[in-house]
Structure 1
Amino acid sequence: MTATTLTPAAPARRRGIHRRLGTGGTISALILTFVVLVAVLGPLLVGPQANQLNLSDAYAAPSSQYWLGQDSSGRDIFGRLVLGARTSLIGPITVVLIATLLGTVLALTAVWFRGWVDGLIVRVLDAIFAFPGLLLAILATALFGAGLSAAVVALAIAYTPYIARIIRSAALQERNLPYIAALQVQGVRGLWVCLRHLLPNISSHILANGTLAFGLVLIDLSGLSFIGLGVQPPTPDWGAMVGDGMPGIFQAYPAESLAAGAAIVVTVAAASILGDRLIESAEDAS
C-alpha cells in the first residue's frame, strides 16, 4: 500500500522542479549539459590535429574544414575551442568540489557544536574571506609557478568561506527544528544526525550555491589564463584563447577572441541563471 501511494507522486514532484526552475533555468541547465558533453567528447569530435601548427595559413578565413578559421599560428580555432572546453571546466569544477567539501565540513561542525567552536570557525572564515580570491590565486602562481594546480588550490581556499557561510546559515535553521532535538533525546550520534538527516535536508542549498560559485570561479581562472598565469600553452583554454587572439583583433581577425569570449560568457551566464533559480527553489522549499 505504501509503494502504491508514493509511486504516483514522483512525476508530480519532477514537474514541480521543472516549474520552479522556469524557462530560463531549464535552458541554462541544457546549455551547461551541452558544454559538459562537449568537454567530455571533445577529443573524439575534433582530434589532436586542432593543435597542429601551420604558419603558412595564419589568420585563414573560415572554410568547410575550419569553421571559425585559423589563428595566428594556423591552428583550427573551432577545434581548439572544443578541446579547450575540458580544460576550462576542470579547474572550476575542482575548485567548487574542494571548497564545497571543506565549507560543508566546517559549517556542520560549527552548527553542531556551537559555542566557542562556532565562534572560532566563523572568525577564521571571515579572515580568509577578507582576501580577494583572484589576488590569492595570483600570489600562489607567483610563489609556485604559473599553471592550473596552484591557482585551483588558492581559489578553493578563497571560496571556502563564501560557501561555508551560506551552508552554515541553512544548516543553522535546520539544526533548530524539533526533529533534531528528538533524535538527540533518542541517543542518536551527532555524526549520524548530520550525515543522515541534516546534510540531505540542506543539499539543495549546497547544489544551488555550488552552481553559482562555478560561474565565478570560471571567470577567475579564465582571467588568470588570459594574463598567462593559468593554463600554459600549447594546451587550449578559453581564457588563454581570448588573450592569444588579442593581436588578431587589431589586424581585423577577431574570431579567436570572440569565439572563446562568447563561450565563457554563455557558460557563466547559464551557471548564474541556473544558480539563481536553484537558490529561489531551495528558499521556497524551506
Structure 2
Amino acid sequence: MSNQDVNALAEKDSRSTHKRSSGWRAFYKKLSRNKAALIGGYLILSFILIAIFGPLLTQHDPTKVNYSIKLLSPSAEHWFGTDHNGRDVFTRIVHGMSITLWVGFLSVMVGAIVGIPLGIFSGYYGGRVDSLIMRLMDILLAFPGILLALALVSVLGGSLTNVVIAVGIFSVPAFARIVRGSTLAARKLEYIDAVRALGSSDMRIIFKHILPNILSPIIVQATLRIATAILTASALSFLGLGAQPPTPEWGAMLSDGRSYMFDHPHVALYPGLAIVIVVLAFNIFGDGLRDALDPKMKK
C-alpha cells in the first residue's frame, strides 16, 4: 500500500471520527436544553456507578441477621437505620441497586429482542403477516401489564429470572407496535425503492437500511420501558412473587417494612424513595431523549 493510500485512509477515518464527534455534540446540546432530562441522565449514570462500585464500599453485610440491633433509627453508624432483622437498610438499598437495574435492563432487552423483529416484519410485509402479528399483540395488550406479568410469574414460579421473563413478555407489544409504525413510514421512502430496484434482498433492506433509520423511537421506548419494568418488578416482589428472602430487592424490602410504617417508618420509607427516584430518572430522561432525537423539533 502506497503512502498516498495510507494518507487517504487516515484522512477518511479522521473525517468519520470528526463527524461522529460533531453528531454527539449536537445531540448533547439538544438534550441539555431540557434540564430535567439532563439531571435524569446524570442520575442514571450515578445509579450505574453505585450498582458497580457501591457494594465494594459498604461496611455491613446486606443479608446477615442481628436481632440485637433491629429497628434502629437512622444514625451515623446506620445511615438509614436497620430493619426488623437487624440488617442495615442503607447497605441493602445499595446492594439492591444492581438487582433493580439488572431486572430493568434485561427484561427490556428481552422485550426488544422479540418485539423489534415482529414489528419490522409486520410493517414491511403487511398483509396476512401484519394481521397475524398485530392480532397476537392485541391479545397481549388486552391484559393490563401488571396483571399479565402477575399471571406469568404465578405460572412460572416466584424468582427474579421469571420476573425478567414475565416483564419482557409484556414489553413485547410496546416495541412491536412502535417499530411497525416506524417501518410503515420508512418503507415508503424513495431510497428504499431504489435499493430494492438494485436487487437487495428483503433481509438486507430490513436490517441494513430500515432498522438503522428507526433506532431513535426504539431507544426512547426502551428508556421509558425500563422505568415501567422496574416498577412492575418491584410490585411483583412486593407481592412475594419476585425476589425471595434474603435478597435485598427494593420491592421485597418495601413489603417487609409495611408492618412497621407507623412505629419505624424508615424501614419502608427509604426503599420506597429509591424506587421513586430511579423510575422518575428514567422517565424524565426518556422524555428528554424523545425531544432530542425527534427531527421535527425546532432547533
Category of TM-score, reference length = shorter chain: over 0.9
Deviation at 1:119, TM superposition (A): 1.6
More deviation in 107-116 or 209-218?
107-116
Deviation at 1:256, TM superposition (A): 2.5
Alignment counterpart, residue 240 of structure 2, candidates 209, 222, 228: 228
Deviation at 1:10, TM superposition (A): 4.2
Contact 2:107–2:168 (CA<8 Å) still a contact in 1?
A: yes
Deviation at 1:180, TM superposition (A): 0.6
Deviation at 1:6, TM superposition (A): 5.4
CA change 1:11–1:153 in 2 (3 A) is closer
Match of residue 255 from structure 1: 266
Match of residue 24 from structure 2: 14
More deviation in 121-130 or 44-53?
44-53
Letter in 2 for 1:180: I
Letter in 2 for 1:142: S
Deviation at 1:48, TM superposition (A): 6.5
TM-score by length of 2: 0.89
Deviation at 1:2, TM superposition (A): 5.4
Contact 1:137–1:150 (CA<8 Å) still a contact in 2?
A: no
Deviation at 1:101, TM superposition (A): 1.1
Gaps of 5+ in 1: none
Match of residue 274 from structure 1: 285
Alignment counterpart, residue 70 of structure 1, candidates 54, 73, 82: 82
Give the distance between the partners of 1:143 and 1:9, measured in 2 at CA: 51
Letter in 1 for 2:27: I
Contact 1:204–1:282 (CA<8 Å) still a contact in 2?
A: yes
Report the secondary structure of 2:295's partner residue. Answer: helix
1:148 has 2:160 as partner: yes
Q: Deviations over 1:160-187 (max 9, x none)?
A: 0111101111121111111111000000
More deviation in 4-13 or 150-159?
4-13
Deviation at 1:145, TM superposition (A): 2.2
TM-score by length of 1: 0.93
Aligned residues: 285
Q: Deviations over 1:251-277 (max 9, x none)?
A: 1x2112111111111111111111112
Give the distance between the partners of 2:109 and 2:15, measured in 1 at CA: 37
- RMSD over aligned CA atoms reads 1.9
Letter in 2 for 1:17: F
Letter in 2 for 1:265: V
Q: Deviations over 1:211-248 (max 9, x none)?
A: 00110111111111112111111000111111111122
1:208 has 2:195 as partner: no
Letter in 2 for 1:256: V
Match of residue 264 from structure 1: 275
Letter in 2 for 1:255: H
Deviation at 1:26, TM superposition (A): 1.5
Runs of 4 or more above 3 Å deviation: 1-12
Letter in 2 for 1:132: P
Letter in 1 for 2:257: G
Contact 1:131–1:158 (CA<8 Å) still a contact in 2?
A: no
Contact 2:27–2:293 (CA<8 Å) still a contact in 1?
A: no
Report the secondary structure of 2:114's partner residue. Answer: helix
Equivalent residues in 2 for 1:105-254, closer than 5 Å: 105-251=117-263, 253-254=264-265
Contact 2:60–2:88 (CA<8 Å) still a contact in 1?
A: no
Give the distance between the partners of 2:236 and 2:18, measured in 1 at CA: 50
CA change 1:285–1:171 in 2 (3 A) is farther
Q: Deviations over 1:21-79 (max 9, x none)?
A: 22221111111111112112233122671321110111113233321111111101100
Match of residue 89 from structure 1: 101
Contact 2:121–2:130 (CA<8 Å) still a contact in 1?
A: yes
Match of residue 8 from structure 2: none
Report the secondary structure of 1:284's partner residue. Answer: coil
Report the secondary structure of 2:248's partner residue. Answer: coil
Contact 2:65–2:87 (CA<8 Å) still a contact in 1?
A: yes
Gaps of 5+ in 2: 1-10
Deviation at 1:282, TM superposition (A): 2.9
Contact 1:208–1:279 (CA<8 Å) still a contact in 2?
A: yes
Determine what percentage of the aligned residue pairs are the same residue.
35
More deviation in 239-248 or 133-142?
133-142
